[in-house]
Amino acid sequence: MNPNQTERIATIISASGETPYPEERGGQAPSDWLNQCHFGDCLETMRRMPDGIAQTCVTSPPYFGLRDYGHERQIGLEETPAAFVAKLVEVFREVRRVLRDDGTLWLNLGDSYAGSWGAQGHKTTTGVSGVQIANHPKRASNTGSIKEDGLKPKDLMGIPWRVAFALQADGWYLRQDIIWHKPNPMPESVQDRCTKSHEYIFLLSKSSSYYCDMDAIKEPAAKGAAGSSFHTGKTGEHQLGRASSKPRKSDSANDSAVPGASEHSGLHREGSEREPDERNKRSVWTVATTPYKGAHFATFPTELIEPCVLAGAPAGGVVLDPFFGSGTTGQVAQNLGRAFIGCELNPAYEALQAERLSQMGFILEAA
């Protein structure tokens, strides 16, 4: 990161009302947290961070009951969905504290079925521990103790919405359910339901009015019933520094077709001289899964989270990911001229992160 960028980040943090750094919070200045992954339990790590250090959080927690990340403090292997949800509420309460008051959370969550513990995992491809939970006690009993939650084998557990509603009840504003449509879903041998080809990204905010630069992620105004995939030409260095640094009112009609028209009105300008080239981004994002070859677990594709980073933080702003894994959020943040803070339980992933982040650092320096 070049000195100008560091200076801009320091300005943004102090504009957020930088707090002193008490001993119980580790005594570290905000800048000490930036552009690195902090290893350990994310809840404990975040408790040492100052208030308001990050502008946005972009993250993908472990699925419920799917993978064993090989660590005692890992989240995801709780006894019941209710226990899993309660744990995530605790984690995201701390995220809310470390976000600025106009901050946002972009939360990627996938669902799974009762009685299929570990069934959607894939085999470990590296020496880094990331095994399916085949030996987990719940697998032996097929459903384990999840009957406590009234779930039967084959029930869709609705984990993403359970988490979303619990976060809403805890004080977050639940602003949108974005559908991540996967054109290349994992094959399933089911014959009594459709093959699952989507996950959720929930947009939540700390306040009713928040920083959200929808101009930075406008999509081409395709005529007719065109899809809503993110236009790749608008990503990467193209967008470096493009995002406006002034917060936008989140609930403005931002559809650009007709003054006064909203997504709900269905109005369009007849006989207008010029159709708009761009429109407000739609809520279904078609992005192919592109597993990072070095990682054993589900990394989210860089293309999926580029819009979250662009809309969620201005150039120089700080992006937090408490479940950093291979460092995708850090890579995208660096590439788009934002700073990042990562938390990750497993220090074995440091090499993966270093590979991705140093590559992006090189591009930034060379640019």
Ligand X SMILES: C[S@@+](CC[C@H](N)C(=O)[O-])C[C@H]1O[C@@H](n2cnc3c(N)ncnc32)[C@H](O)[C@@H]1O
- Among residues 56, 120, 326, 335, which is the contact residue for ligand X, using CB under 6 A? 326
User: Beta partners for 343?
Assistant: 38
- Give the residue with the Cβ less far from ligand X, 130 or 316: 130
Question: Judged by CB under 6 A, does residue 345 bind ligand X?
Answer: yes
- Give the residue with the Cβ less far from ligand X, 32 or 44: 44
Neighbours of 198 (CB within 10 A): 14
- Among residues 69, 84, 92, 106, which is the contact residue for ligand X, using CB under 6 A? 69
User: Beta partners for 203?
Assistant: 106, 176
Question: Judged by CB under 6 A, does residue 62 bind ligand X?
Answer: yes
CB 272 within 8 A of CB 289: no
d(CA 349, CA 297): 11
The two three-digit tokens of residue 16, written as one number: 């957020």
d(CA 250, CA 21): 32
- By CB under 6 A, the count of residues binding ligand X is 21
The two three-digit tokens of residue 113, written as one number: 């079925």
Q: Interface residues for ligand X in 244-273 (CB under 6 A)?
A: none
Question: Judged by CB under 6 A, does residue 132 bind ligand X?
Answer: no
**Torsion 190-194-197-203 (CA) sign:** negative
- Among residues 297, 311, 315, 333, which is the contact residue for ligand X, using CB under 6 A? 297
- Among residues 34, 75, 109, 315, which is the contact residue for ligand X, using CB under 6 A? 75
79: amino acid identity, one letter: E
The two three-digit tokens of residue 252, written as one number: 């403005």
- Give the residue with the Cβ less far from ligand X, 121 or 317: 121
The H or E element that residue 313 is part of is none
d(CA 308, CA 317): 13
The residue with its CB nearest to ligand X is: 325
Question: Judged by CB under 6 A, does residue 300 bind ligand X?
Answer: yes
Interface segment toward ligand X; rule CB under 6 A; list 66-74, 178-186, 197-205, 274-282: 66-74
- Residue 325 CB, shortest distance to ligand X, in Å, is 3
Question: Judged by CB under 6 A, does residue 331 bind ligand X?
Answer: no
125: amino acid identity, one letter: T
- Residue 346 CB, shortest distance to ligand X, in Å, is 4
- Give the residue with the Cβ less far from ligand X, 30 or 62: 62
Question: Judged by CB under 6 A, does residue 299 bind ligand X?
Answer: yes
- Residue whose token pair is 């406006």: 244
- Residue whose token pair is 């009609």: 253
Question: Judged by CB under 6 A, does residue 325 bind ligand X?
Answer: yes
CB 323 within 8 A of CB 74: no
**Residue among 293, 306, 137, 174 at smallest CA distance from 238:** 306
Pairing of strands 284-286, 173-181: parallel
Question: Judged by CB under 6 A, does residue 200 bind ligand X?
Answer: no
Strand intervals (E) in 169-244: 173-181, 198-205, 219-220
Q: Interface residues for ligand X in 138-177 (CB under 6 A)?
A: none
Interface segment toward ligand X; rule CB under 6 A; list 25-33, 68-76, 160-168, 219-227: 68-76
- Among residues 7, 73, 226, 290, which is the contact residue for ligand X, using CB under 6 A? 73
Question: Judged by CB under 6 A, does residue 346 bind ligand X?
Answer: yes
Question: Judged by CB under 6 A, does residue 298 bind ligand X?
Answer: yes
Interface segment toward ligand X; rule CB under 6 A; list 10-18, 133-141, 196-204, 293-301: 293-301
Longest dimension (CA), the chain: 66
- Residue whose token pair is 């981004």: 281
- Residue 327 CB, shortest distance to ligand X, in Å, is 6
- Among residues 16, 30, 38, 41, which is the contact residue for ligand X, using CB under 6 A? 41
The Cβ-side half-sphere exposure at 194, using a 13 Å CA radius, reads 4
Interface segment toward ligand X; rule CB under 6 A; list 22-30, 115-123, 132-140, 298-306: 298-306
The SS3 assignment for 349 reads helix
Where along the sequence are the contacts to ligand X (CB under 6 A)? 41-42, 60, 62, 69, 73-75, 295, 297-300, 323, 325-326, 328, 343-346
